[in-house]
């Protein structure tokens, strides 16, 4: 049986198309893989970027930490020196840990404003009657 050259051409075309389709599927897949990776990296980056400290006073917002300033939407506004989110977090954590070693009550955080208009962050506990200036 002789094959019709036209039919052959059509078959070849179909085959070509199938190959192209397959390639595009593979490309699409690879692109989605790349996208996943980018997505993951972006998420990790944003996790690192949002190395945030929750405001201990209102316990709602993130503290904004700048080199000379710690502030929060709730009105907390404290001037500091060379502060970073990491430093602030470890300060809060160590203060809480230290307090929890002698008292089970969770301490309160308040902002005081002294006579010199210098605000500071105070950790106090009515149960063990202790207080501590954090910032
Ligand atoms: Zn706050
Ligand atoms: Zn206490």
Q: What is the pLDDT of residue 47?
A: 57
Q: What is the pLDDT of residue 129?
A: 94
Q: Which helix (H) or strand (E) holds 97?
A: helix 85-100
Q: What is the DSSP letter of 55?
A: -
User: CA dihedral defined by 59, 60, 62, 67, rounded to 10 degrees?
Assistant: -50
Residue 2 Cα, ligand 2 centroid: separation in angstroms?
Answer: 97
Nearest ligand by distance to the CA of 124 = 2
Instruction: Measure Cα distances from 63 to 70, 72, 93, 94, 120 in Å.
Output: 7, 5, 15, 17, 14
> Quick one: which ligand is closest to 53's CA?
1
- Report how far ligand 2's centroid is from the alpha carbon of 25 (Å): 63
Q: Rounded to two decimals, what is the model's pTM? A: 0.60
Counting every residue written for the chain, the total comes to 135
Q: What is the pLDDT of residue 62?
A: 87
Dist. CA 8 → ligand 1 center (Å) = 75
What's the 86 CA to ligand 1 centre distance in angstroms?
Answer: 17
Distance 58 CA to ligand 2 centre (A): 19
H/E stretch holding 18: helix 5-49
* Residue 130 φ/ψ, nearest 5 degrees: -125, 155
Ligand with smallest separation from the Cα of 110 = 1
Average pLDDT along the chain, 135 residues, taken 10 residues at a time? 76 91 88 75 62 86 88 90 89 90 90 78 94 92
> What confidence score (pLDDT) does residue 32 get?
81
What is the reported pLDDT for 86?
87
């Amino acid at each position: 049986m002789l094959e019709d050259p036209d039919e052959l051409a059509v078959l070849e075309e179909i085959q070509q198309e199938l190959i192209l389709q397959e390639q595009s599927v593979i490309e699409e897949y690879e692109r989605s893989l790349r996208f996943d990776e980018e997505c993951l990296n972006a998420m990790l980056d944003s996790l690192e970027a949002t190395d945030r400290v929750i405001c201990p006073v209102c316990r709602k917002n993130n503290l904004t930490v700048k080199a000379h300033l710690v502030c929060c939407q709730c009105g907390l506004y404290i001037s500091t020196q060379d502060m970073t989110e990491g430093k602030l977090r470890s300060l809060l954590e160590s203060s809480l840990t230290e307090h929890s070693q002698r008292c089970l009550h969770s301490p309160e955080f308040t902002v005081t404003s002294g006579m010199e208009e210098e605000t500071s962050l105070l950790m106090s506990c009515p149960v063990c009657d202790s207080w501590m200036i954090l910032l």
